[in-house]
Amino acid sequence: MKLPIGSIVGLVATLAFTATAFPGSADEHDHHHAEGVELQLNNGKKWETDAPLRQSMATVSQNVSAVLADIHNHSLNAAGYKTLAGQVNEQIAYIFANCELEPAADAQLHIVIARMMVSAQTMEQNSDLAEKRQAAVALVGALHSYADFFVDEDFTLPKH
């Protein structure tokens, strides 16, 4: 992925502004169009991935699965959300350092990664538990987008 940090910051800032300026505008089921940025297929096909990306996304999905029941039952505490955010950020850093997709696929992946970053940031902040939960739901939406738009036969969505 090897994305210049300025591009990452700009994309995250745009998505964060959109999410805060228009709260509730993207419901949790509209994960492909959330924050006003639309993912697209590669001429009707999913985008190719590489091993580092597949490994990191599988790890994020496993981390979410481990706490999904607590999120669903409104019983995950602030420390739990912060831990999940740290796990997500660790995998995002790994993707940035190791993933090398072709430019068009990379551009689509930036949308998914930016959504994951905004979710992690909200889970880390001093927001209330309802906002942290909403961010976790958005993270699950980003994982759904990854599954729907990227080739990864072994990827499984979070389950509880």
pLDDT, one tens digit per residue, over 63-99 is 999 999 999 999 999 999 999 999 999 999 999 999 9
State the CATH number of the domain containing residue 98.
1.20.120
Could you tell me the pTM of the whole model?
Answer: 0.79
Percent of the chain exceeding pLDDT 90 equals: 74
Q: Which two tokens stand for residue 69?
A: 């029941």
Long-range pairs of 132-137 with CB within 8 A, sequence gap ≥ 24: 132/76, 132/78, 132/81, 133/71, 133/74, 133/76, 133/81, 134/28, 135/81, 136/64, 136/67, 136/71, 136/76, 136/81, 136/84, 137/28, 137/71
**Mean per-residue pLDDT, 109-123:** 97
4 within domain boundaries: no
8 A C-beta contact, residue 142 and residue 130? no
How many domains does the structure of the chain reveal? Answer: 1
The one-letter code for the residue type at 22 is F
- For 90, the domain range is 51-153
Rg, C-alpha atoms of the chain: 15
55 within domain boundaries: yes
45 within domain boundaries: no
